Chains A and B, each alone.
Chain A
């Protein structure tokens, strides 16, 4: 048995490691009443080996703390591959935390300099360039060039601070631009953090770089503390999770839903509306603390689109579970081919469901999470429907109605 000195991160999870009842729900569960087709996208698209499952991370962690001589390179390969979608935790009937255990495994490996190079690169990218992809920090707000919100004074109060998140800022700038346009069109005052903005630390926390994640989060918190605002609005689901405890952020879809309900914003369709399928974000389900299917942003996306008269294939999401599209966790950097397979699987699933439905039409895919949107867009075939972030979708298919004065 280990000591807190030997395994300081895993030592926090002894209860879980010795209470797991091996029911196997975190490996695979098909549960119609809960609308669960599969639990682990890594097992589905990367490898069926159980060591990549929640149960596998528990087994590996337990073997390690019991003194087994495991090859740490292999432990690292398994631990950092996990997409961190959290389905294994949500489905556990006795409240075990396999995803958190895997995060602790990652931290133990990091403490022994056993993180794979591609993972260390992400750490260095966030530290040096304030984003996990390593894009130049100075380019973070290129998407907002010329926008008044970029030049706001920190001393001025504002209705909204908009944090696009790294994925929007760099990989899906059209989502950030569309979001800003809609915020401004609603009549709200909007500020951007500009040079004071950077990664919230979520990717580092997810990968087990706890100290560095805390440093990033604190830097962002310090920037926010300088501002006077009513709403902190973010596009990234992961950012929302990361900031939830310190800054109480509002997601774009939540804001949009309220703005439409309160008539702050009125939209009218430009042309015939497309039939869409929603690609649910696993990170949005992680943010949900409640137990029902209707309490997360994936559900809110469906409500907003339906409310706008858009036909959404598949109907209302009834599950608290979403399979990762391959954009999350260590998957993209550790297993790029499998990551792409996971994206294709999500797209193919949406297309297949549309084909099996009566109308058989699918014109577009929509997601609330810019990281998913960027990843799905890069993996889609030419024959697949285009992928949009919510704000982009609104921007493309609706116009803002302004009242005549």
Chain B
């Protein structure tokens, strides 16, 4: 193998226009990882482009010299996708932070990838508009990062997933080619329809962690701001009961006015109640709580709530107003972006696995969690279950001391992931955390690899993510 040039490509970046380049070791320390427990990396350079043309030029340079490129947004994700484990360039996209167009007639907002959700929501509010999915770290999370890593968020009961909110993208491929997807693929038409012309190429880049291209513009569907809002909590005696309840709600499509639906197991319920009501007995608390945040027209909320209350009763559940008061009312004034944000559960960094599960596997999911608790009592484990329009997201949160337990906690979480996959529960976000599991889905992994080879033949984009094979000579030299 030819020995690569010393730090190939990073020196020549100096000549590019409209970028800020960081190569000082102190500057580089801050770009090593995201919020996940995945291994950090060490970039050779951080480049912050100010224009899309600069992104094109950076990728052309990197592709020529076969330098790895990891696009990074707010880096508040739990999958390690931005961790530059192969070194190379971290492409800090946060400087591309302009909202390009708010088109109320088409119902679309077009923005650069570095726009923070907080800025987006603020800009849309005067128009009476919002977006469907809002990540739990909305004030800092970027739109490009959320799409690229397929972020979870509040809004999933109504709108299913981040990807479903994307009307189209503009992407720069590894060779510097710019591509628009959806209706915007036709010159001069812009974004107004995702599924047209041919196959859905937009979907190629959603959740791809930057492995197939770098997102430089995102078109999101707009939705009117809800007129009314109300949170209601219910208690259930066991996992099967809440599972049946969620199945019924989803089957009857009583989700159109639900912005957030979250299930909380006994430890979380006990913690919240004991904090809010120190004198209340904890023995007869429900084993599960379901919190539903309704948003919509007041009369629709009232109708849906009445029907859901009947379903709850039929599933052995009952109103649980104490949980509402103890937890959700406190969050009301600051919005509820972080319902699912792990940090608020335990005031600590933690390893998080996000999975997708069919709703009828909720009790199976809880059984796996219980077993994991039994096998690894040294890592306090939390479970977060978020309702989608169909199916659920299941989060496993393992709290550990990062100074001493990082490796062993990750090993424990790997076992948990394997067990979940065997049980028919799949990783929602792959990045590096679930890369190994992706390689196990052989036909899917093979197709993904072929797409990767075609779109990024030198393998420079986010090497190590999604279990894709690393083949860059530069990587061979720099990867331990």
Measured in the bound complex, the distance between the Cα atoms of B46 and A53 in whole Å is: 15
Which A residues touch B378, using CB under 8 A?
A: none
Contact bitstring A8-37, B, C-beta under 8 A = 1, else 0: 000000100111111111011111111010
Partner of B349 from the list A19, A34, A55 (CB cut-off 8 Å) is A19
Query: Across the interface, do B343 and A93 meet the contact criterion of CB distance under 8 Å?
Result: yes
Q: Give min CB distance, B424 to chain A, whole Å.
A: 30
Measured in the bound complex, the distance between the Cα atoms of B30 and A93 in whole Å is: 19
Q: Give min CB distance, A226 to chain B, whole Å.
A: 45
Measured in the bound complex, the distance between the Cα atoms of B350 and A125 in whole Å is: 46
Query: Across the interface, do B30 and A60 meet the contact criterion of CB distance under 8 Å?
Result: yes
CB within 8 Å: A-B pair count: 126
Query: Across the interface, do A93 and B344 meet the contact criterion of CB distance under 8 Å?
Result: yes
Query: Across the interface, do B29 and A59 meet the contact criterion of CB distance under 8 Å?
Result: yes
Measured in the bound complex, the distance between the Cα atoms of B94 and A34 in whole Å is: 22
Query: Across the interface, do B350 and A21 meet the contact criterion of CB distance under 8 Å?
Result: yes
Contact bitstring A41-79, B, C-beta under 8 A = 1, else 0: 000000111110101100110010000101100110110
Query: Across the interface, do A29 and B31 meet the contact criterion of CB distance under 8 Å?
Result: no
Query: Across the interface, do A23 and B35 meet the contact criterion of CB distance under 8 Å?
Result: yes
Q: Give min CB distance, A11 to chain B, whole Å.
A: 12
- Which residues between 322 and 375 of chain B lie within 8 Å of chain A, taking CB atoms? 333-335, 338, 341-344, 347-350
A222 within 8 A of B: no
Query: Across the interface, do A33 and B333 meet the contact criterion of CB distance under 8 Å?
Result: yes
Which B residues touch A68, using CB under 8 A?
A: 25, 29
Query: Across the interface, do B33 and A32 meet the contact criterion of CB distance under 8 Å?
Result: no
Q: Identify the closest chain B residue to A36 (Cβ).
A: B139
Which A residues touch B27, using CB under 8 A?
A: 49-51, 74, 78
Known interface pairs A19-B347, A21-B35, A22-B349. Does A33 touch B334 (Cβ–Cβ under 8 Å)? yes
Which B residues touch A23, using CB under 8 A?
A: 35, 76, 137, 140, 341, 343
Query: Across the interface, do B118 and A24 meet the contact criterion of CB distance under 8 Å?
Result: no
Known interface pairs A18-B349, A24-B137, A29-B140. Does A74 touch B26 (Cβ–Cβ under 8 Å)? yes
Which B residues touch A19, using CB under 8 A?
A: 347-349, 402
Partner of A32 from the list B76, B118, B341, B402 (CB cut-off 8 Å) is B118
Which A residues touch B350, using CB under 8 A?
A: 21
Q: Identify the closest chain A residue to B114 (Cβ).
A: A28
- Which residues between 119 and 168 of chain B lie within 8 Å of chain A, taking CB atoms? 119, 121-122, 125, 137, 139-141
A1 within 8 A of B: yes
Measured in the bound complex, the distance between the Cα atoms of B218 and A351 in whole Å is: 32
Query: Across the interface, do B30 and A55 meet the contact criterion of CB distance under 8 Å?
Result: yes
A309 within 8 A of B: no
Of the candidates B25, B34, B139, B349, the one having the most CB atoms from chain A within 10 angstroms of its own CB is B139
A94 within 8 A of B: yes
Known interface pairs A24-B74, A33-B334, A60-B29. Does A94 touch B343 (Cβ–Cβ under 8 Å)? yes
Query: Across the interface, do A24 and B75 meet the contact criterion of CB distance under 8 Å?
Result: yes
Measured in the bound complex, the distance between the Cα atoms of B118 and A21 in whole Å is: 19
B272 within 8 A of A: no
Q: Identify the closest chain A residue to B352 (Cβ).
A: A21
Q: Give min CB distance, A217 to chain B, whole Å.
A: 31
B389 within 8 A of A: no
Query: Across the interface, do A48 and B95 meet the contact criterion of CB distance under 8 Å?
Result: yes
Query: Across the interface, do A70 and B344 meet the contact criterion of CB distance under 8 Å?
Result: no
Which A residues touch B34, using CB under 8 A?
A: 22
- Which residues between 101 and 138 of chain A lie within 8 Å of chain B, taking CB atoms? none
Measured in the bound complex, the distance between the Cα atoms of B349 and A196 in whole Å is: 49
Which B residues touch A1, using CB under 8 A?
A: 403
Query: Across the interface, do B30 and A56 meet the contact criterion of CB distance under 8 Å?
Result: yes
Contact bitstring B295-306, A, C-beta under 8 A = 1, else 0: 000000000000
Partner of B139 from the list A22, A25, A48 (CB cut-off 8 Å) is A25
Which B residues touch A30, using CB under 8 A?
A: 116, 118-119, 122, 139
Which B residues touch A51, using CB under 8 A?
A: 22, 24, 26-27, 29-30
Which B residues touch A32, using CB under 8 A?
A: 118, 121-122, 125
Contact bitstring A152-194, B, C-beta under 8 A = 1, else 0: 0000000000000000000000000000000000000000000
A360 within 8 A of B: no
Q: Give min CB distance, B287 to chain A, whole Å.
A: 27
Query: Across the interface, do A78 and B26 meet the contact criterion of CB distance under 8 Å?
Result: yes
Q: Identify the closest chain B residue to A55 (Cβ).
A: B30
Which B residues touch A20, using CB under 8 A?
A: 349
Measured in the bound complex, the distance between the Cα atoms of B48 and A22 in whole Å is: 19
Known interface pairs A22-B35, A56-B29. Does A93 touch B116 (Cβ–Cβ under 8 Å)? no
Known interface pairs A19-B349, A32-B118, A74-B24. Does A25 touch B137 (Cβ–Cβ under 8 Å)? yes
Measured in the bound complex, the distance between the Cα atoms of B21 and A48 in whole Å is: 10
Query: Across the interface, do B26 and A70 meet the contact criterion of CB distance under 8 Å?
Result: yes
Q: Identify the closest chain B residue to A73 (Cβ).
A: B26
Contact bitstring B395-407, A, C-beta under 8 A = 1, else 0: 0000001110000
B20 within 8 A of A: yes
Which A residues touch B403, using CB under 8 A?
A: 1, 14, 17-18
B240 within 8 A of A: no
Measured in the bound complex, the distance between the Cα atoms of B31 and A63 in whole Å is: 12
4 residue pairs, one from A and one from B, having the closest CB atoms: A30-B118, A50-B30, A29-B139, A24-B140
Between-chain CB contacts (< 8 Å), 28 pairs: A1-B403, A18-B349, A19-B402, A21-B35, A21-B350, A22-B33, A22-B75, A23-B343, A24-B75, A24-B141, A27-B140, A28-B140, A34-B334, A48-B48, A48-B94, A49-B22, A49-B30, A51-B24, A59-B29, A70-B25, A71-B25, A71-B26, A74-B26, A75-B26, A78-B27, A93-B338, A94-B347, A95-B347
> Which residues does B use to contact A, with CB under 8 Å?
20, 22, 24-27, 29-35, 46, 48, 74-76, 92, 94-95, 116, 118-119, 121-122, 125, 137, 139-141, 333-335, 338, 341-344, 347-350, 401-403
> Which residues does A use to contact B, with CB under 8 Å?
1, 14, 17-25, 27-34, 36, 47-51, 53, 55-56, 59-60, 63, 68, 70-71, 74-75, 77-78, 93-95
